[in-house]
């Protein structure tokens, strides 16, 4: 999105060559299948060196983006002002070179300027000039150009009030700009913007951020949202799409969304789920049908639209002192039973936000019980085993969240023995979860690392590519400083291998420092915790340990064992 000037690297030229070859194969196959590829256009992002060649050009360095603050090595991308004559010149050259390289175009180009970066001025005339210049750059290279733009910037940035939105959207001739309503299943912009002020748009489901493994969604919104948009008065909707950051999780969500491209009326989700079960497992039995009925009402009924706020403690450990976890008490529900919990607020640091829950965990545990009961009839189904492992993981993850908060309660009471006992229980749970995840190919670290290594042409590239793969799912950070990055755990994964060898040892470090602080009568040593965490991260990212690429263990047996060990008493 043009937010980073650079990070890590440099990648070898062979990698770029391989990507170009792959791109050409993809484009060729898309055309063969009658698909319409979208190619990039110039958005204004330029190398810093361009300032040396064109010293009078209006090139500015944008503000900091998330964790890159204060790190000049890889933050602050350079942007050429769209009002500079050089912008259209480069835009034209960009399109021409692309057409020369690929030999063919569908005439649709994507361009997202100021995505998670705010324009320097909110004058509508200035905003209009930006849109005009961007489109002129495309059109000067391809007279039939059409601009495809993400609508993400309108969903989060208060800068984009109606005058500013209209100025950008109406800067291009009607029909030459199409907007992706990127997060429409949760925050549809078409409703609040009068159908994007008459501009054609595509209704999109974003659903997943970073490919995190968490069972969640809002099936009713998927089953009705596109139809409501299409049949609304003066609708300018021209299609539907999926814009997830990661896939290979929550199959039911993507199955239903894929079908919506062919639906002309709202889908009865309960009836659809019955058909889904039979397709997915080869048969439907009463117990699995009852289980999915519960899941539909709970995990897949996130009506408040905040399901992207999940950050389970195992895979997203809080980088804060316990004093920022336990503050004034407020009511909450522990597995469906009223009790008390602490609000998590802080003005001093990046506080730990409790993972968002919109459902009764006791009901989900009941669904898991029904899944296990169905095992004798369905365990031959690979998709059943996947769902069983995922649902067991889901229930255990929420149990771990509560167990962690019990540890913090014991810490507040200065009960070192209880902190020690509960910490050991937590770490045992993490180890058991790693065993569970090893039961299915869909939850293994090995395939991820091996796929990265297979791109390499020599040992040095293999080492570099594996480091990138390990870093992407753990932490992006400047390892010359003893402070954790804000971009930690963004791409977290419940995968066997990373759970046992990274998340578990990380929790071990935290609990060690926690217990030491109690034993010595001292405050929690945040810098000590961070220093050891960062060393663990650096060591794990540079490790060359090989992980299995095939599953091991009986999913039904292990799921039943873990249910009896941790969850049976919580299901009532």
Question: CATH number of the domain that 295 lies in?
Answer: 1.20.120.670
**Domain co-membership, 134 together with 46:** yes
The helix/strand/coil state of 113 is coil
Residue 226 near residue 260, CB atoms below 8 Å = yes
Q: Tens of pLDDT along 285-344?
A: 999 999 999 999 999 999 887 765 667 999 998 887 887 774 433 333 333 333 333 333
Peptide bond into 10 cis (omega under 30): yes
| Residue 422 confidence (pLDDT) above 70 | yes
Are 320 and 436 in a shared domain?
A: yes
Any idea what the Cα angle at residue 33 is, between residues 28 and 38, rounded to 5°?
A: 60
On whether both 253 and 368 belong to a single domain, the answer is no
367, 327: one domain: yes
Encode pLDDT of 527-544 as tens digits. Answer: 999 999 999 999 999 999
pLDDT tier for residue 549 given thresholds of 50, 70 and 90: very high
Query: Which pLDDT score, from 0 to 100, does residue 9 have?
Result: 82
What pLDDT digit, counting tens, does each position of 55-103 carry?
999 998 876 665 444 454 556 788 898 889 999 999 999 999 999 999 9
Number of Cβ within 10 Å of residue 83's Cβ equals 13
Mean pLDDT, residues 6-15: 86
Digit-coded pLDDT (tens) for 480-490: 555 556 678 98
Say if CB 44 and CB 87 are below 8 A apart. Answer: yes
How many angstroms separate the CA atoms of 248 and 213, rounded? 9
State how far the Cα of 401 lies from the Cα of 383, in Å rounded to an integer. Answer: 27
> What does the alpha-carbon distance between residue 385 and residue 442 come to, in Å, rounded to a whole number?
10
Question: What pLDDT sits at residue 66?
Answer: 54
Looking at the predicted structure, is the pLDDT value of residue 195 above 90? yes
Residues 325, 252 share a domain: no
432 with 296, same domain: the answer is yes
Q: Are residues 147 and 210 in the same domain?
A: yes
Q: Residue range 26-34: average pLDDT?
A: 96
Pair 316, 410 in one domain: yes
Check if the beta carbon of residue 337 is closer than 8 Å to that of residue 268: no
pLDDT at position 561 is: 98
Q: Are 406 and 425 in contact (CB under 8 A)?
A: no
pLDDT at 482: 57
Instruction: Tell me if 424 is assigned to some domain.
Output: yes
CA 26 → CA 111, 167, 520, distances in Å? 20, 35, 61
Residue 538 lies in a domain: yes
Residue 444 — φ and ψ, nearest 5°? -110, 140
**Predicted pLDDT of residue 569:** 82
Q: How large is the average pLDDT for residues 104-129?
A: 90
CATH number at residue 208: 3.20.20.80
Answer yes or no: is 282 within a domain.
no
Do 257 and 294 belong together in one domain? Answer: no
Mean predicted confidence (pLDDT) in 180-208: 96
| CB-count burial class (<10 Å; 0-12, 13-18, 19+) for 53 | exposed
* Confidence grade of residue 351 (pLDDT, cut at 50, 70, 90): low
Judge if 250 and 330 occupy the same domain.
no
User: Of 208, 238, 268, at which residue does a domain stop?
Assistant: 268
Assess if residue 12 is contained within a domain.
Answer: no
Structure confidence at residue 421 as a pLDDT band (50, 70, 90): very high
Q: In the structure encoding, which two tokens stand for residue 102, read together?
A: 């690929």
522 alpha-carbon distance from chain centroid: 37
Which residue, of 206, 235, 268, is where some domain finishes?
268
φ, ψ of residue 162 to 5 degrees: the values are -50, -45
Q: Beta strand pairing status for 201-205 and 177-181?
A: parallel
Total domains in the fold of the chain:
2
For residue 518, is it within any domain?
yes
Q: Exposed, middle or buried: residue 384 (CB in 10 Å: 0-12, 13-18, 19+)?
A: buried
Looking at the structure, tell me whether residues 175 and 300 fall in a common domain: no
What is the overall mean pLDDT for the chain? 89
pLDDT per position as a tens digit, 138-185 = 999 999 999 999 999 998 889 999 999 999 999 999 999 999 999 999
Residue 2, domain member (yes or no): no
Res. 397 pLDDT band, cuts 50 70 90: very high
Q: Once rounded to an integer, what is the mean pLDDT over residues 43-50?
A: 90
- Based on the fold, state whether residues 190 and 333 are members of the same structural domain: no
Q: How many other CB atoms sit within 10 Å of the CB of residue 73? A: 11
Question: What was the pLDDT predicted at 342?
Answer: 34
Q: Is residue 44 included in any domain, yes or no?
A: yes
How wide is the angle at C-alpha 251 spanned by C-alphas 559 and 249, nearest 5°? 70
pTM across the whole model: 0.92
The answer as to whether 7 is a domain residue is: no
pLDDT cut 70: percent of the chain above it: 90
pLDDT band at 503; cut points 50, 70, 90: very high
Residue 339 phi, psi dihedral angles, 5° rounding: -155, -155
The domain in which residue 394 lies consists of 290-570
pLDDT bucket at 260, cuts 50 / 70 / 90: very high
């Amino acid at each position: 999105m043009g937010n980073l000037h650079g990070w890590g690297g440099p990648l070898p030229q062979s990698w770029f060559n391989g990507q170009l070859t792959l791109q050409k194969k993809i484009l060729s196959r898309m055309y063969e299948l009658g698909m319409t590829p979208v190619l990039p256009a110039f958005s204004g992002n330029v190398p810093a060196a361009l300032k040396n060649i064109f010293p009078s050009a209006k090139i500015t360095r944008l503000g900091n983006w998330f964790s890159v603050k204060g790190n000049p090595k890889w933050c602050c991308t350079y942007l050429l002002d769209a009002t500079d004559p050089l912008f259209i010149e480069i835009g034209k050259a960009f399109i021409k070179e692309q057409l020369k390289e690929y030999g063919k175009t569908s005439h649709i180009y994507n361009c997202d300027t100021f995505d998670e970066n705010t324009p320097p001025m909110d004058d509508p005339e200035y905003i209009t000039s930006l849109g005009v210049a961007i489109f002129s750059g495309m059109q000067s290279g391809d007279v039939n150009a059409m601009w495809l733009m993400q609508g993400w910037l309108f969903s989060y940035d208060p800068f984009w009030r109606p005058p500013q939105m209209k100025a950008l959207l109406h800067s291009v001739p009607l029909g030459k700009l199409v907007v992706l309503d990127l997060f429409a299943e949760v925050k549809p912009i078409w409703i609040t913007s009068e159908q994007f002020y008459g501009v054609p748009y595509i209704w999109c489901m974003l659903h997943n951020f970073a490919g995190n493994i968490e069972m969640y969604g809002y099936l009713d919104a998927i089953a009705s949202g596109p139809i409501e948009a299409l049949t609304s008065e003066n609708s300018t909707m021209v299609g539907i799409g999926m814009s997830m950051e990661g896939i290979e999780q929550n199959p039911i969500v993507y199955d239903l969304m894929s079908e919506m491209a062919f639906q002309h009326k709202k889908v009865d989700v309960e009836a659809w789920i019955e058909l889904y079960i039979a397709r997915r497992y080869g048969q439907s039995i009463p117990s699995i049908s009852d289980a999915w009925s519960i899941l539909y009402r709970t995990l897949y009924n996130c009506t408040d639209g905040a399901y992207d706020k999940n950050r389970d403690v195992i895979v997203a450990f809080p980088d804060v002192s316990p004093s920022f976890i336990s503050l004034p008490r407020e009511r909450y529900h522990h597995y469906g039973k009223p009790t008390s919990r602490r609000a998590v607020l802080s003005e001093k640091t990046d506080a730990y936000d409790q993972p968002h829950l919109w459902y009764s965990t006791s009901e989900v545990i009941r669904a898991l019980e029904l899944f296990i009961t169905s095992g004798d009839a369905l365990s031959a189904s690979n998709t059943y085993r996947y769902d069983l492992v995922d649902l067991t993981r889901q229930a255990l993850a929420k149990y771990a969240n509560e167990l962690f908060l019990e540890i913090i309660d014991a810490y507040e009471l200065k009960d070192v023995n209880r902190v020690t006992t509960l910490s050991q229980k937590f770490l045992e749970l993490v180890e058991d979860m790693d065993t569970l995840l090893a039961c299915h190919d869909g939850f293994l670290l090995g395939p991820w690392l091996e796929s990265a290594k297979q791109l390499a042409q020599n040992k040095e590239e293999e080492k570099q590519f594996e480091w990138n793969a390990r870093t992407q799912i753990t932490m992006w950070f400047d390892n010359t400083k003893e402070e954790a990055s804000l971009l930690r755990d963004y791409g977290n994964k419940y995968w066997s291998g990373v759970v046992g060898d990274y998340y578990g040892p990380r929790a071990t470090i935290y609990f060690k420092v926690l217990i030491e602080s109690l034993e010595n009568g001292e405050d929690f040593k945040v810098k000590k915790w961070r220093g050891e965490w960062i060393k663990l991260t650096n060591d794990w990212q540079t490790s060359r340990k090989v992980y299995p690429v095939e599953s091991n263990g009986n999913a039904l047996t292990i799921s039943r064992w873990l249910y009896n060990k941790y969850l049976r008493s919580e299901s009532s």
